[in-house]
Amino acid sequence: MKMNIEDFEDIIYEKEENGICTITFNRPKRRNALSYVSFLEIWTALDDMEKDKNARVLIMTGSTEGRAFSSGGYFNMSKVTTTPEEIMKEIDLTDIAQKKTCMKFWNFNKPVIAAINGLAIGAGITMPLVGADLIYMSDDPETYLWINFVKRGIAPEFGLSFILPFYLGFQKAKEIIYFGDKISAKEAEKLGLINKALPPEDLMPFVRKQAERLIPPKAPSLSLKLMKKTMHDYFREIISDTLDKENETLRALFKTHDMRESTKSLMQKREPIFKGK
């Protein structure tokens, strides 16, 4: 049994006649956190779009009920109770960096727009940075980017170890990764991590207009497809190798005292006390 779009529980996948498709992260009780199952659903939606010649552009956003774009990865499999065993067999629990989904995005030949409409933490920002062609973000005070792996005693995933230095240079990328400070929409725009910060009420209307500009007759879809392929092809092996190294690092760090301490401190709502082991 393979996952079908009818099986989705963590995302809402919508397709419009004009060619715009939307993935909405929809786990409001966990501020739209992304589980192994969520990533499989996203992969399946991308696969469906690849096979549908009428699907032209993808918008990714978060459910407003979740008060977030995504609060990041949530990998406690003991909490997965409704997913059929046959579908769980499709999930590689050792793929902590989400290489399967990341490479699906990197090889995806249609435009992807991220509409960050709330806080984006961990995988909630690494996935757009690697997987989206354009990123637009609400500039309200409750919306920020937080590359917070250091706060959890782990390391980046989803290819961020390559893509962030590529965007910003090593010094700035290391500053962001080493300290894990929150980044406002205006700062993210200034750094070049997003294309534009917009008032909350303008975000989705603007994103939809941008999506419409990428659809025939306003845009040549074949040209866009080949542009993207040309830009991405050179880096495919680099991204793949980076994800392998990220997985190796994460598997090691998941066994450490510091990672366990970060989880414990999070549950106890206190600052972690790291020991460097």
Summarize pLDDT for 16-32 with one digit per residue, the tens: 999 999 999 999 999 99
| Neighbour-count burial of 58, counting CB atoms closer than 10 A to its CB (0-12 exposed, 13-18 middle, 19+ buried) | buried
For residue 74, the SS3 value is coil
Give the distance, in angstroms, between the CA of residue 44 and the centroid of all CA atoms in the same chain.
Answer: 15
Structure confidence at residue 82 (pLDDT): 63
- Under the banding of pLDDT at 50, 70 and 90, the label for residue 77 is low
Structure confidence at residue 276 (pLDDT): 93
Mean pLDDT of all residues belonging to the chain: 94
Over residues 175-199, the pLDDT tens digits come to 999 999 999 999 999 999 999 999 9
For 21, 60, 93, 255, 265, the CA distances from 114, given in Å and listed in that order, are 12, 5, 26, 33, 31
Structure confidence at residue 196 (pLDDT): 98
Max Cα separation, the chain?
Answer: 59
Q: What is the mean predicted confidence (pLDDT) over 141-150?
A: 95
pLDDT of residue 146 exceeding 60: yes
Nearest to 42 by CA among 119, 132, 134, 122: 132
pLDDT of residue 80 exceeding 60: no
The secondary element (H helix, E strand) that includes residue 154 is: none
Domains of the chain: 5-268 (3.90.226.10)
What residues does 184 pair with on adjacent strands? 144
- The contacts of residue 142 (CB under 8 Å, 6+ apart) are 67, 118, 119
Structure confidence at residue 69 (pLDDT): 97
Q: Report the C-alpha gap between 156 and 149 in whole angstroms.
A: 6
Structure confidence at residue 66 (pLDDT): 72
Over residues 220-259, the pLDDT tens digits come to 999 999 999 999 999 999 999 999 999 999 999 999 999 9
Structure confidence at residue 143 (pLDDT): 96
Over residues 199-222, the pLDDT tens digits come to 999 999 999 999 999 999 999 999
Q: What is the mean predicted confidence (pLDDT) over 102-123?
A: 97
Ramachandran class of 152: left when φ > 0, alpha when ψ lies in -120 to 50, beta otherwise: alpha
Over residues 35-45, the pLDDT tens digits come to 999 999 999 99
Q: Report the C-alpha gap between 99 and 104 in whole angstroms.
A: 8
Q: What is the mean predicted confidence (pLDDT) over 258-263?
A: 92
- Under the banding of pLDDT at 50, 70 and 90, the label for residue 65 is confident
Q: What is the mean predicted confidence (pLDDT) over 80-88?
A: 68
